[in-house]
């Protein structure tokens, strides 16, 4: 769910940044917006790779407690960060129900709370690292 929220928020921000023009060019061409989008894409990719690693271990029948907790923790935090940055890209429009970013922003926080908070995931990771 976290990965889907992050991807949706990113895609919405990317689309908007290519459509919204300021000073005769799309805002995606401004360095500040471009760097936000770059960071979002990179963190989504890292999140997806953590998830795939945990799934791969599970599919092979290997213990993946630490890897699963890392994937859940990182992905949920990425969802919050990416949706927050998407709001920044859209500016005031990001808070309106006319754009899906508002919903991604609201829903992303649930990911850090539901099925084990980020703090609980950190405890799981810590216990596995300190074995």
Instruction: Give the angle subtended at the CA of 83 by the CAs of 90 and 65, to the nearest 5°.
Output: 165
Is 115 part of the annotated catalytic residue set? yes
Phi-psi region of 118 (alpha: psi -120 to 50; beta: other; left: phi over 0): alpha
Catalytically annotated residue among 19, 45, 115, 119:
115
**Main-chain phi, psi angles of 51, to 5 degrees:** -65, -50
- Which residues are annotated as catalytic? 115
């Amino acid at each position: 769910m976290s990965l889907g929220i992050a991807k949706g928020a990113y895609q919405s921000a990317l689309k908007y940044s290519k459509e919204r023009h300021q000073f005769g060019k799309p805002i995606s061409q401004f360095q500040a917006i471009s760097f936000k989008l770059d960071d979002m894409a990179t963190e989504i990719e890292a999140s997806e790779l953590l998830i795939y690693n945990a799934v791969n271990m599970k599919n092979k029948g290997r213990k993946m407690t630490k890897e699963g907790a890392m994937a859940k923790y990182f992905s949920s935090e990425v969802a919050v960060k990416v949706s927050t940055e998407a709001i920044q890209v859209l500016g005031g429009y990001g808070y309106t129900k006319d754009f899906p970013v508002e919903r991604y922003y609201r829903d992303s926080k649930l990911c850090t709370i539901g099925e084990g908070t980020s703090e609980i995931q950190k405890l799981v990771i810590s216990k596995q690292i300190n074995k």
